[in-house]
Amino acid sequence: MTDKQEQSESISDEQLVAYLDGELDEQTTARIRETLKTDPDLRLRLESLSGAWDMLDELQQPQLKTDFTESTLELVALSVESDIEKSQNISNRKRVLRSVTVMAGMLAACFFGFSCVMLFRPDPNRQLLEDLPVVQRLDEYRQIDSLEFLRELHKSELFSEDPSDE
């Protein structure tokens, strides 16, 4: 294999396409130009690639309809709208859950407070219940003139303590 053939084979089709598009650096471009001057096989490969690119330019460009842009934008808008609705539904659920939690907490606090008051506050009716036997006989006791007389009756045990005897 000669030196020219090795140089020709070391240049790839990708490099030749980049050469045609003007995308190579100056050193590689100069090397390809020098090889093209002396290598007819490389010139043939370059002309073949150039012809293929020219034929691509002759193909009709597909015409996109304006409906495509509009429908794509509509799809994007619908997708965004759906995302916003989901986000609002989630935030509404969170708000309702937060409100229910606050209400449950307030109800629990009220129940706890009521229970504490009922346990630790003295019952105003307790004394009345203890004095109920006296209150039931209050009319009879009012007819008695002195407290001393009642003490004497109590000492004599004339009246029994058991209400079933009456």
pLDDT score of 24 more than 60: yes
pLDDT top residue among 37 and 55:
37
Tokens of 54: 């020219």
pLDDT per position as a tens digit, 69-107: 778 888 888 888 888 888 888 888 889 999 999 999 999
pTM beyond 0.85: no
- Residue 106, pLDDT score: 96
> Bigger pLDDT: 153 or 2?
153
> Residue 55: is its pLDDT beyond 80?
no
- pLDDT tens per residue, range 112-133: 999 998 888 888 788 888 888 8
pLDDT of res. 165: 46
CB half-sphere exposure, 125, CA atoms < 13 A: 1
- The mean of the pLDDT values for the chain is 81
DSSP codes of every residue in 102-157: HHHHHHHHHHHHHHHHHHHSPPHHHHHHHTHHHHHTHHHHHT---HHHHHHHHHHT
- pLDDT for 111: 95
3-state secondary structure 40-76: HHHHHHHHHHHHHHHHHHHCCCCCCCHHHHHHHHHHH
Tell me the percentage of the chain whose pLDDT exceeds 70.
88
pLDDT at 2: 57
Residue 1, pLDDT above cutoff 50? no
Residue 22 has pLDDT above 70, yes or no: yes
